[in-house]
A and B are shown apart, each in its own frame.
Chain A
Amino acid sequence: MIFCRRTPVLLLILALLATGCSPTAQPVSRTTTRLLMGTLVSITTWSLPTNASAWEEQERQGVDAAFREVARIEGVMSSHRADSPLSRLNQAPRGIAHPLLPELADLLRRGLEVTNASGGAFDMGLDPLILLWGFSREPPPQTVPDPQRITAWLEHHAPGGLTLSGTVEQPLLRLANASHGLDLGAIAKGYALDRAVAVLQEQGIHNAIVNAGGNLRTIGAKGDRPWRLGIRHPRQAEGVMAVVEVDRPLTMVTSGDYERFFIHQDQRYHHIFDPRTGYPARSGLISVTVQAEDGTLADALSTALFVLGAEQGLALLRRFPGSEALLMLEDRSLRRSAGFIGQPVAEP
């Protein structure tokens, strides 16, 4: 009789204890987010560790190291910080070759490949134009700058204004005139993704997503399931226009007219400039997503494609084998390159 009075309580206690037991290895996924490079940078890792606490320590250190690398790159390449190596180059006199860090020179060299292949649609020397439009200021601009100033800038801004010379160990950079100033906003995040992922792998983390302001680079997967990535719909703040499942290393960079813009007299002015006009690019596209293994390349190509438009953009891709793209046009239709991975999501 005592037994059946107390049994319910015993069962309750047993049930509570049982929830704490887990003999098999459990998958562990963790996301860390920091404010870096003027945006949110997140690193998501996944693992099936045999020793959960040892993994937790290793993961934390690896993610820390990756974030430190991103912060270091920001310190070198930010045009917003007056004391960064990049800013000092911008402050140096024009028309003369100046020494620069090999890391910077390498990045510029890779960017110049895209510049040349795209006929100047991708340009790393737009700092004066960006300052003119005011997109890097807070608060963001609301009006169009004086058209005469834009024309004046355009007159001086001929292609080939960035010239690298010297050796690999001691490179030199020459900026032609004051209309040229380094701004790596269209390539630095891709480069940061590459470096962050390299650090993660050095630290023994092999399944991760690094997300720098909406530019993603993945390594590994989630055990036997791929990473599931979405691509933001350019006109739906919480909406996704395509889903991409990936289990091999991949970078996805999206450039859109919805990230930084203002509307003035019914016209949308966004932050992706066409170097050939001095105005925001009007190529018929509202969003471009480029896939490539290399983040630096994907980042540069996404800007180039946005400026070039669908036809010339897809043609440009063919000159960089392994790169693919999904484009959304102003009429909301989608175009994609043959090898683009992912499924468009039906319009709700």
Chain B
Amino acid sequence: MSPGRWRLPWRVLVRASTPGDRGLMLASAVGIVALGLLLEGPPGSRLQVFRDNRLVATHALGGTAGWSVDGRLGPVIVEIRQGQARLREYRSPRLIGTRTGWIGRAGQVAACVPCGVLIRVEGGPSPADADLDAVSE
């Protein structure tokens, strides 16, 4: 396919490209990396998983993932999708942890209290009602 003799690819590249080309190569490489980081969720956006108040796992909030944590009442599933996480428990009386639904903003928590499992978002965007520091209920 390529006519002519094969030289060292590097030298060919340098000969074939203009300074403008090389600038574009660099800029687009940076852009792609930045896009990758951006889509992974905001920098530092992580999910912490606690079992009986001990940190048992940390996971980035990007991409898709799911695994099982051994809770006091049986397995609890932790799911991550598109920068958010949720709990799905199958053996908890009131399913409050599951009913909390997807969390993705800094400080948000979902917990199954009888299972002893808690997940928390660290870093990432602050919640929409960040103007409240705490709620008495």
Distance, CA A227 to CA B130, complexed state (A): 12
- Report the interface size class on chain A: 35 or more
Asked if B136 is at the interface of the complex by the 8 Å CB criterion, the answer is yes
Q: Is the CB of B118 within 8 A of A40?
A: yes
The interface residues of chain B lying within 8 Å CB-to-CB of A228 are 131-133
Whether B23 and A9, one on each chain, are in contact in the complex, defined by CB atoms closer than 8 angstroms, is: yes
Q: Is the CB of B113 within 8 A of A139?
A: no
Shortest 7 CB-CB contacts between residues of A and residues of B? A139-B93, A232-B137, A214-B137, A230-B135, A34-B53, A252-B136, A230-B132
> Which applies to chain A's interface (DSSP): helix, strand, loop or mixed?
strand
Query: Assuming A138-B114, A228-B131, A230-B135, what are 17 further A-B pairs, CB within 8 angstroms?
Result: A5-B19, A8-B27, A9-B26, A12-B30, A34-B118, A35-B50, A35-B116, A40-B118, A44-B133, A140-B93, A229-B135, A230-B132, A231-B136, A232-B136, A232-B137, A243-B132, A254-B136
CB distance from A45 to the nearest CB of B (A): 11
Which of chain A's residues have a CB closer than 8 A to the CB of B131?
228
B59 contacts chain A at the CB level, 8 A cutoff: no
- 1/0 per position for B108-137, CB-CB distance to A under 8 A? 010101101010100000000001111111
Where the two chains meet, the residues of A that have a C-beta atom closer than 8 Å to any C-beta of B are: 2, 5-6, 8-9, 12, 31, 33-36, 38-40, 42, 44, 67, 138-140, 209, 211, 214-216, 222, 227-232, 240, 243-244, 252-254, 256, 259, 289
Known: A35-B116, A39-B113, A139-B94. A229 touches B53 (CB 8 A): no
Is B9 located at the chain interface by the 8 A CB criterion? no
Q: Which of B74-105 contact A (CB under 8 A)?
A: 93-94
The distance from the CB of B134 to the nearest CB of chain A, in whole angstroms, is 5
Question: Shortest beta-carbon distance, B27 to chain A, in Å?
Answer: 7
CB-CB under 8 A from A254, the residues of chain B are 136-137
Residue B107, interface by CB 8 Å:
yes
Task: Say yes or no: A215-B111 contact (C-beta < 8 A), given A9-B23, A35-B118, A36-B53.
Answer: no
A-B contact pairs, 17 of them (CB 8 A): A5-B19, A8-B27, A9-B26, A31-B107, A33-B109, A33-B111, A34-B53, A35-B52, A42-B109, A67-B53, A138-B93, A139-B94, A140-B93, A214-B137, A227-B134, A229-B133, A231-B135
